[in-house]
């Protein structure tokens, strides 16, 4: 069973991810971007899902932090999907080097397909 780390403050986002991916994956949730790196080290997830709006360290900053840590060799390469609030945020997700992104509201089928595609592709 794969492990999916989800960083979100929104209960409804967590519930949608649990409903979409929970049967095939163990979902681990953190509430803040500053918790993502420690959770990656602890759980070694197959996929990291970052909500754009997550408290004290947003999804973009958390994604950049993961990329910097992996380039420094302190963590393995991570596969990251960002959950965006609007289409205009796709540019920022690309700059943060997310592997994929989805603009909310979430569609369960799109979420499942995106997660599956990112987990089976070679990481950057």
Instruction: Domain 2-120: give its CATH code.
Output: 3.40.50.2300
pLDDT at res. 17: 93
Please give the average per-residue pLDDT across 70-84, as a whole number: 97
How many CA atoms lie within 13 Å of 87's alpha carbon, on the beta-carbon side?
Answer: 0
**pLDDT band for position 121 (cuts 50, 70, 90):** low
Specify whether the CB–CB gap between 40 and 48 falls below 8 A.
yes
CA terminus-to-terminus distance, the chain: 23
**pLDDT band for position 123 (cuts 50, 70, 90):** very low
Q: How far is CA 3 from the centre of its chain?
A: 11
Task: Show Cβ contacts of residue 104 under 8 Å, excluding neighbours closer than 6 positions.
Answer: 13, 83, 84, 85
- Using the predicted structure, report yes or no on whether residue 67 has a pLDDT greater than 90: yes
């Amino acid at each position: 069973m794969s492990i999916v780390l989800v960083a979100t403050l929104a209960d409804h986002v967590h519930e949608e991810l649990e409903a979409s991916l929970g049967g095939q994956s163990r979902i681990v949730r953190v509430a803040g971007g500053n918790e993502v790196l420690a959770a990656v080290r602890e759980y070694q997830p197959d996929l990291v899902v970052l909500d754009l709006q997550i408290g004290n360290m947003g999804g973009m900053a958390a994604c950049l932090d993961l990329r910097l840590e992996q380039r420094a060799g302190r963590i393995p390469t991570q596969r990251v999907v960002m959950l965006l609030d609007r289409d205009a945020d796709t540019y920022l997700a690309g700059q943060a080097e997310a592997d994929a992104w989805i603009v909310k509201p979430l569609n369960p089928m799109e979420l499942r397909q995106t997660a599956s595609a990112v987990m089976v592709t070679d990481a950057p």
